Amino acid sequence: MADSSTNTIFLLLTTLIFTTSCTFYVNGCYTSIISFGDSLADTGNMKALSPKSNGQAPHFLFPPYGETFFHKPTGRCSNGRLIIDFIAESLGLPLIPASEAGKTTELAQGVNYAVAGATALDSSFHEARGVYNPMTNASLRVQLGWFKESLPSFCSTVSGNLPIGCSAAYLTIFYDSDKVQYDNSTGCIIRLNRFAEYHNELLQTELTQIREVHPEVNIIYADYYNAAMQFFRSPNKYGFTNGALKACCGGGGPFNYNPSIACADPSSNSCAQPDTYFNWDGLHLTEAAYRLVFKSLFEGSYTTPRFNSLCPISRSQPVGGLSSSI
């Protein structure tokens, strides 16, 4: 049974949100966030986990990462804030800071366990199939293990995927291939987006089963895929005048992505107006993109159930230049 003194949001792999069935506060919102995931939600854990002296620090620990908001690299794989940051701000909580010592970053009563390069399955599973992840073994199982170790500090007792076919990285890999079909309305790779849709369908099926087993828990599915697709279909409408497919920071080429020249590499280039780009480095989004995806999730109709159905509107406050009702 959950501690009635705390309301917590759990972000699992940056695609779904668990909220405890605790007693709601006056405004119906939450007092802490616990986040699990990969580079879409990592606010500094990879920075804390990276070796300090072998000269192999990840490229996202160097400028121009962080230039737009923090004005320095924080470990976030973007030029500024992530969706998790905007959620924290909308709830009146401080931004999750980058940790300098320890394996988790702290946010008020919550913790961010997300780590760049993390996978849902352990590295051993992938290595047995010839797939190697040089970044980290901070898989979902590992992150949940950290969470279990931390539980005593929280309470005494505790009772979908983005359209990868629109990624500059994959568009570059399959560029000029006669085996690839593209969506005429977006320029995205049809097969890869269908794969992402299939993943999200399976995820929602599992969530339905979890809701039946745990009816006392509010589980919110965040539809990252369709929240993002609206910007790929009409980038200019939302201010992305340089499009949604080309990376702001990268190593050149038709989509400004080169797997051999990462953003922050001395030979890479960075755009002057990142807010006019949807894609940041070929794999991750700009702060402007994350802000609009957040707005679609937190205020719009891209979550099931909708946030406002569990967190009644009681007041408005600005969030990163947006008006967010909480």
Instruction: Give the relative orientation of helices 287-298 and 224-233 as an angle to the nearest 10 degrees.
Output: 120
Is 126 catalytic? The answer is no
In the chain, the DSSP E strands lie at 8-12, 16-19, 32-35, 105-107, 110-112, 218-222, 249-250, 269-270, 303-304, 316-319, 322-325
The catalytic residue among 38, 281, 296, 324 is: 281
Residue 282, Cα to own-chain centre: how many angstroms?
A: 15
Is 284 catalytic? The answer is yes
Is 281 catalytic? The answer is yes
Beta-sheet pairing, 249-250 with 303-304: unpaired
Q: Which amino acid is located at 14 in the chain?
A: T
The catalytic residue among 85, 284, 296, 324 is: 284
> What three-state secondary structure class fits 147?
helix
- CB count, 10 Å around CB of 8? 21
The catalytic residue among 39, 99, 123, 139 is: 39
Peptide bond into 64 cis (omega under 30): yes
The residues annotated as belonging to the active site are 39, 281, 284
